Amino acid sequence: MIVYGRNPVREALRGRRRVHRVFATPRAAHEVWLGEVEARFADVREIEGRCGSPDHQGICAEVEAYKYVDADGLLDRDDALVLCLDELQDPHNLGSVCRVAEVAGCAGVVLPDRRSAEVTPAVCRASAGAVEHLPVARVRNLADWLGRATERDAWVYGATADGNVPYDRPDYRGRVVLVLGSEGRGLRPRVAAACDELVHLPARGRIGSLNVSTAAAALVYGILHFRTVLDSVP
């Protein structure tokens, strides 16, 4: 796999994957610490040809294939916060959600292994390299996995524009799984039925819904805030 862009390459060098070689312009090589990885100077045309995108910022790297993790292990922590994405297909949205999840300290992200975006170079770029540190899992059947999460004492909340519970009402302590739907269609009926509650963010403007990555950021940081408040109560 080829990853490209300064942040994605920088985080790949710091992350779990093996980096085989780096191709960079002299300026980009100077700005990204390459350590002991084999590096080769290249011009922008060669780099663009290797990564297939003009958004390379003068650097790309050959890395091993992305390593997905076991989804069940994401719930090991008593306070694990896991994001599930139900057939999200846009690589930019997936990368943006992964960036939110990593920065917020989520335990990981779960994706269905069919009809869903996966971790590609474009997702690495959109996540600013967050996928190099964030555990991402793929499961055969998302609704079934949500059922297993419930058996492990996790509360499962689906986010929908027409959810019947305001997002600030639940008690988010303990294991929490937050499920967000695909672009346009939202949560599939069986996935929604596997949730304990369907929550919604307030919509006070004229547009009825948020982009999935924006909604993820609002909900995740809302959950972190509520946990802080609840933990401070005697």
DSSP letters, 93-105, are HHHHHHHHHHHTT
Element (H, E) at 150: helix 142-151
Q: Go through 76-114 and write b for each residue having 16 or more CB atoms within 10 A of its CB, e for each that does not.
A: eeeebbbbbbbbbebbebbbbbbbbbbeeebbbbbbbee
pLDDT at residue number 231 = 67
C-alpha to C-alpha distance for 138 and 190, rounded to whole angstroms? 18
Q: Which amino acid is at 9?
A: V
Structure token digits, residue 59: 């650097």
pLDDT at residue number 233 = 61
Helix, strand, coil shares, percent, the chain, to 5: 35, 20, 40
Q: What is the pTM of this model?
A: 0.91
Instruction: For residue 2, give the 3-state DSSP assignment.
Output: strand
Which domains are present in the chain? 2-63 (no CATH), 71-232 (3.40.1280.10)
User: Which 8-state DSSP code applies to residue 40?
Assistant: E
Taking the CA atoms of residue 128, residue 133, residue 135 and residue 138 in that order, the dihedral angle to the nearest 10 degrees is: 50
C-alpha to C-alpha distance for 168 and 202, rounded to whole angstroms? 10
pLDDT at residue number 33 = 67
C-alpha to C-alpha distance for 122 and 136, rounded to whole angstroms? 16
C-alpha to C-alpha distance for 50 and 40, rounded to whole angstroms? 13
pLDDT at residue number 35 = 67
Structure token digits, residue 14: 């710091």
**CA atoms within a 13 Å half-sphere pointing along the CA-CB vector of 162:** 4
- pLDDT tens for the chain, 234 residues: list them: 999 999 999 999 999 999 999 999 988 877 776 666 778 888 999 999 999 999 999 999 999 999 999 999 999 999 999 999 999 999 999 999 999 999 999 999 999 998 899 999 999 999 999 999 999 999 999 999 999 999 999 999 999 988 889 999 999 999 999 999 987 788 999 999 999 999 998 888 877 678 899 999 999 999 999 988 766 666
C-alpha to C-alpha distance for 8 and 16, rounded to whole angstroms? 13
Q: Which amino acid is at 27?
A: R
* Backbone phi and psi for residue 86, each to the nearest 5 degrees, phi listed first: -90, 95
